[in-house]
């Protein structure tokens, strides 16, 4: 599967490549970090102000109330969220290089146009260290807490057989753990391809951002909508025709839905990867480089 191959390739950035180093250094100089002192003052001042003013206390409570579901959604769909940010960054960087007129010269390098795009994509991922944090073990404790709650919610209640209820919870926990992993992998790989293919259609700064955002979100929303339709309509009809009842439909539905999600998005990723090869007008050198990436 191309997702696994590209995901493995993303783990090994070409740090010795001069284009990679230059792109990373450019982003390091352009980014401004949020002052820690300002954050510290805000964390001290806001709670103290809440005791002095009922209005501030109400506002603070409202902010906390809104932040909880937003934080939960960001944890659940962190792959799509960070993927969109990295797709925009990659597309904007490649479009900027194309506007400067140096893209054609860089494409004469031994790895060809695909090699240039891939190096820039990797540099955008690793420029600020967020990619390592995104795929680190620090994010998984929060995810496991969410996974347990989701698994219990979707597990069937079988008062007459508590052992099967426990088995169903364990199966659902494994399924949703796999979903988190697949969501991360496919969303980031999709973002990388989108970031490389968008500048082949337009070099304009605003247009490339709109194009990348619209297509990326469209793909994600349509795929999840089709999976939801499959889980809500197609699977129940199959269970009804096969006369499958009891706990088995409740346990197997998340598994089949996950399989459908993976296969649908895998097909989209493969199609976009092949389209990228066509848009970059790959020659024999580019094909060789592509084979080194995915093998």
User: What gap in Å lies between CA 36 and CA 149, rounded to an integer?
Assistant: 34
Count of residues for the chain? 295
**Over 90: is that where the pLDDT of 190 sits?**
yes
Q: Residue 102: what pLDDT?
A: 83
Alpha carbon dihedral 46, 72, 194, 2, in 10-degree steps, equals: 140
Q: Residue 51: what pLDDT?
A: 58
Based on C-alpha coordinates, what's the Rg of the chain? Answer: 23
Closest to 63 measured CA to CA, from 55, 52, 74: 55
Of 141 and 261, more confident: 261
Q: What is the mean pLDDT of residues 265-293?
A: 77
DSSP 41-101: HHHHHHHHHHHH-HHHHHHHHHHHHHHHHHHHHHHHTHHHHHHHHHHHHHHHHHHHHHHHT
Where residue 17 falls among pLDDT bands split at 50, 70, 90? Answer: confident
Cα 53 to the chain's mean position, in Å? Answer: 41
**Over 60: is that where the pLDDT of 251 sits?**
yes
Q: What is the mean pLDDT of residues 231-260?
A: 84
Query: Which range is least confidently modeled, 26-35, 107-116, 179-188, 200-209?
Result: 26-35
**Over 60: is that where the pLDDT of 291 sits?**
no
Q: What is the mean pLDDT of residues 268-293?
A: 75
Q: Measure the N-to-C terminal CA separation of the chain; round to a whole number of Å.
A: 10
Give the chain's mean pLDDT: 78
Q: What is the mean pLDDT of residues 57-66?
A: 66
Q: Please report, for the chain, the start and end positions of each structural domain, with discontinuous segments joined by +.
A: 2-31+77-294
Helix, strand, or coil (residue 165) = helix
**Over 50: is that where the pLDDT of 204 sits?**
yes
Of 157 and 204, more confident: 204
User: What gap in Å lies between CA 75 and CA 72, rounded to an integer?
Assistant: 5
What confidence tens digit (pLDDT) does each residue in 77-130 have? 778 888 898 899 899 989 988 888 888 888 877 778 888 889 888 888 887 666
Where residue 29 falls among pLDDT bands split at 50, 70, 90? Answer: very low
User: What gap in Å lies between CA 128 and CA 135, rounded to an integer?
Assistant: 14
Of 29 and 115, more confident: 115
Of 83 and 48, more confident: 83
**Over 50: is that where the pLDDT of 32 sits?**
no
């Amino acid at each position: 599967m191309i997702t696994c191959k590209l995901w493995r390739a993303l783990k090994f950035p070409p740090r010795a490549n001069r284009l990679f180093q230059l792109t990373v250094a450019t982003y390091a100089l352009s980014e401004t970090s949020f002052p820690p002192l300002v954050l510290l003052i805000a964390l001290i001042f806001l709670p103290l102000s809440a005791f002095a003013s009922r209005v501030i206390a109400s506002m603070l409570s409202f902010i906390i109330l809104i932040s909880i579901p937003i934080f939960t959604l960001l944890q659940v769909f962190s792959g799509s969220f960070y993927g969109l940010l990295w797709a925009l960054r990659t597309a904007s960087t490649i479009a900027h290089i194309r506007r400067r007129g140096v893209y054609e010269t860089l494409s004469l390098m031994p790895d060809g146009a695909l090699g240039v795009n891939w190096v820039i994509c990797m540099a955008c991922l690793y420029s600020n260290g967020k990619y390592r944090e995104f795929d680190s073990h620090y994010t998984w404790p929060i995810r496991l807490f969410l996974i347990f709650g989701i698994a219990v919610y979707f597990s069937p209640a079988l008062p007459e057989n508590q052992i099967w209820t426990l088995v169903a919870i364990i199966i659902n926990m494994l399924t949703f753990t796999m979903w988190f992993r697949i969501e991360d992998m496919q969303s980031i790989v999709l973002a990388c391809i989108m970031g490389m293919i968008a500048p082949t259609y337009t070099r304009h700064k605003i247009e490339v951002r709109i194009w990348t955002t619209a297509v990326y979100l469209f793909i994600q929303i349509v795929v999840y909508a089709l999976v939801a339709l499959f889980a809500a309509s197609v699977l129940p009809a199959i269970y009804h025709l096969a006369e499958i009842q009891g706990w088995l439909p409740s346990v197997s539905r998340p598994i089949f839905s996950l399989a459908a999600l993976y296969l649908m998005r895998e097909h989209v990723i493969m199609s976009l990867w092949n389209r990228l090869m066509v848009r970059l007008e790959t020659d024999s050198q580019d094909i060789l480089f592509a084979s080194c990436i995915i093998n």
